[in-house]
Amino acid sequence: MQLNLLFAIDDKFADRMLVTLYSLRQNSPATNTYDVYVIQDQPLAQADRLTQILQALNMTYHPIIVGADVFADAPVSDRYPKSIYYRLLASELLPATLDKVLYLDADILVINDPTPLYRLDLSGRLYAAAMHSDFLNLTGTFNQFRLDTATPHYFNSGVLLINLARARQQVKPADIFRVIREHKNVLILPDQDVLNKLYSQDTQPVADVVYNYDVRKDLTYQTTSQGKWDLDWVVTHTVFLHYCGTKKPWLATATDKYALLYKHYQHRFAQRF
């Protein structure tokens, strides 16, 4: 099967993306091929290396260079750099021949096959994404009040299956720019907040414990499931481990069980390449 993947990185995150892609290659069918689209402000210094490594992984590197005049009308500041628009406006940047793409943050480890998510029927929906909720969904209720949305559904945009065909019809740059101008004082995670403000009702929920496992919430998952989602369950069923927050697994200070797994894949990648 052929899958389209999307990242938005700079040179600092090139190696992080490669670990993500290496882990994906190790845990998906050998017959899968991948077109990897990477949105960037300017050509990455490691472009040749990226091309060679992705070829070895049976993947194709497609750089998407965002020119200075793109999103010229967008509100831009230190807090709202142009890069916040990249996943929201992927349909404006990617080739018109693509009808679907899977966006991934570069702090994700793939430990099982993502193909079932990619095959998800998105007819009539813009996105598929996971919600990270607490026991009483207080986080969702707070975000509903903060963003003045119709539902307490608040989706994490780190894993985002995008229906590009529908997005070309429904997602308008002017709407996104307007929300940022009008709500800039309440936006905490700008691109994620905008996605939820405008499109949460057009998003298909998927299980975060499978498709966007926030490693910070490990205890919450265990408690919520009364121990069902233990480590063995995660190893068997979870597809994406998401290292949200500031305690990144590649740091020397990261020593928990999920950091250990990440460091293992990082080591295996470095051994091969």
What are the structural domains, with CATH classification, of the chain?
A: 2-272 (3.90.550.10)
Amino acid found at 255: T
| C-alpha gyration radius of the chain | 18
**Given this model, what pLDDT does residue 132 score?**
74
Distances from the Cα of 148 to the Cα of 49, 144, 154, angstroms: 45, 5, 12
Global pTM value? 0.93
Q: What is the DSSP string of 171-184?
A: --HHHHHHHHHHHT
For the segment 25-45, what is each residue's pLDDT rounded down to a tens digit?
999 999 999 999 999 999 999
Integer Cα distance of 248 and 204 in angstroms: 28
**Given this model, what pLDDT does residue 152 score?**
58
Amino acid found at 270: A
Question: Exposed e or buried b for every residue in 18-43, given b needs 16+ CB within 10 A?
Answer: bbbbbbbbeebeeebebbbbbbbbee
Which residues of the chain are modeled with pLDDT < 70?
79-80, 133-152
**Given this model, what pLDDT does residue 69 score?**
77
